[in-house]
Structure 1
Amino acid sequence: MAAAVFDGKLYYVQDYPQPQIKPGWAKIKVRLAGICKTDMEIMKGYMGFKGVLGHEFVGTVEACADGQWIGKRVVGEINAACGHCDWCARDLGRHCPNRTTLGIVNHEGCMAEFCQLPVVNLLTVPEEIPDERAVLTEPLSAACEILEQLPVSGKERVIVLGDGRLGIFCAWVLSTAVEDVTVVGHHPEKLEVAKWRGIKTTLNEKDLQPGADIVVEATGSGAGIVSAM
């Protein structure tokens, strides 16, 4: 199959082996794959990963022991948990120390004609959602996890540092539950995208009033962590 493969250098190959599905897993024909900053960091040595890149995708199930999945358009949870450890017992498989992660940890990614994931990781995509939106499920789900882990009353003052894709997603998600959300960024065109549901934006964090109940650091930089503190 065709694939984008990293092995110290990035290669585009036409004859990479197709995934051989394991029991309980599904082989997925990739319709569309996204490019994430994590992919760029992997090419700089992050996680020491080598193999097919990519963890953002939408695809169609091509092979699976459970026939009801065949032909379904799907996205998927990228962490394949062991199912046996204490973390998994608490339904926290995303933090399983034995997990593999699509295109990041010991698991060939989705920048290829095919990828594979456990069937329990798959989610069907409603017909009205196009591939171009469905492919953003993974980064959007990362933002949604904030509200899973952090109970809010709706009255908090929230500041999101960073106007990249993840920062904007975090602001959008938080704005569904909190009234006062501000995004700090350095790109006017991106901050325009962030303006939804009353979200405020600024190019200069010094314009902000001191103090916040919640700060989301989404710049991925050391300077961002200092600002958040």
Structure 2
Amino acid sequence: MRAIYFSQGTAVTVDQPNPEPGPGEALVRVLSAGVCNTDIELFNGYYGFAGVPGHEFVGRIARSPDDPALEGVRVVADINCGCGACRFCLAGNRRHCAARQVIGIKGRPGAFAEYLCVPAANLHPVPDALDDREAVFAEPLAAALEIGQQIHIGSNDTVAVLGDGKLGLLCALGLRPLNPGLLLIGRHEAKLALAAAQGVRTLYCPAGKEDAVLPRLRGFFDLAIEATGRPEGLAQAIELTRPEGTVALKTTSRLPLTLNLAKVVVDEINLIGSRCGDMALALDTLANGRLDVRPLIQAVYPFSEFARAFAAARAPGALKVLLDFGG
């Protein structure tokens, strides 16, 4: 099979044998995959990554030795693969298993390949109502919706999402049903327009103009969601949060962070990390049309044109770039 291999800032296409599913695993043929900012960070040296990336994908089960009835089923995957025996795994919380592997990120090859093996317990059938390109969004949408599982968001709360990148847009679109007044703050008018077209309130804050735009909102929000992916994003989110309010952190950066936490202490602000979420909830949200992810797709490339696709995904301001594996 063909696969993309990242190592030390390079991406090369390699030919490898098809992987063999181990006990409890299924072999999945990839149909479509999305390029995520995490993939770009891994390419740039995050985690010292070397291997096959890709964790946003939809595929079809090609082989399932333990349950042949699953063969042919279209699926997406929870990317966290736990040991199955620790207290977190036994509580159904694989994402915090100390020995976990993470598809395309840590210890397990990803979906920028024609085939990959996935624990069957991690697979979720895709509703027929969703096409492949929509289903690819299940993983990042699950991460966005996780905030609503961690924090009670009232319909009258003041909520801001900082950052109009791919994840910020999904946070705004996904959480708006819980809070119709949610405000998306971003640097890109075209991206903000995509959210506004689906009813999201937006605020344009150009790069370098934060001091002119944000001070009037200081201390206003019950909940500020940091989705900028920039080192200064957390400090901005804290400044916008009221005393005893909450900041939810959705993005990480390989760049160093210097932060004055005095306001967090004095104003008793809650900081909550938020990572992966419920894939079944994301699939249900997509299938029932509670948001439309199709406008977030910038381009679709055949897998054979990965270099072009990855260059497009790395361009400043890029939306979602998808890889099409055919059939």
Aligned to 1:122: 123
Letter in 2 for 1:146: I
- 1:147-185 CA-to-partner distances (Å, cap 9, x unmatched) read 111122222111000001100111112111113201111
User: Is 1:153 matched up with 2:154?
Assistant: yes
State the match for 1:220 in structure 2: 229
Aligned to 1:76: 77
Gap regions ≥5 residues in structure 1: none
In the TM superposition, what is the alpha-carbon distance from 1:209 to its structure 2 partner?
A: 3.1
Percent identity reads 40
How far 1:17 sits from its partner (Å)? 2.7
**Alignment partners' CA distance in 2, 1:19 and 1:49:** 20
- Equivalent position of 1:209 in the other structure: 217
Cα gap change, 1:197/1:154 in structure 2, threshold over 3 Å: closer, same or farther?
A: farther
Q: Structure 2: state its 5+ residue gaps.
A: 239-327
Say how many residue pairs are matched: 228
Distance in structure 2 (CA, Å) of the matches to 1:218 and 1:108? 26
Match runs of 1:79-228 below 5 Å: 79-195=80-196, 198-204=199-205, 206=213, 209-210=217-218, 211-228=220-237
The aligned counterpart of 1:3 is 3
Letter in 1 for 2:233: G
Runs of 4 or more consecutive aligned structure 1 residues displaced over 4 Å after TM superposition: none
Kindly provide the amino acid, as one letter, of the partner of residue 124 in structure 2.
L
- The Cα offsets for residues 73-119 of structure 1, whole Å up to 9 and x where unpaired, read as 11110110112112223322112111100100000000010011111
Output the TM-score relative to the length of structure 2. 0.67
Tell me what 1:60 maps to.
Answer: 60
What is the TM-score of this pair, normalised by structure 1?
A: 0.95
* 3-state SS, counterpart of residue 189 of structure 1: helix
- Residue aligned with 1:112, SS: coil
Q: CA deviation at 1:12?
A: 1.1
RMSD, aligned CA? 1.4
Greater shift in the superposed pair: 188-197 or 104-113: 188-197
Aligned partners of 1:175 and 1:197 also within 8 Å: no
State the Cα distance separating 1:43 from its structure 2 match. 1.0
SS state of the match for residue 16, structure 2?
coil
Deviation at 1:71, TM superposition (A): 0.2
Equivalent residue number for residue 24 of structure 2: 24
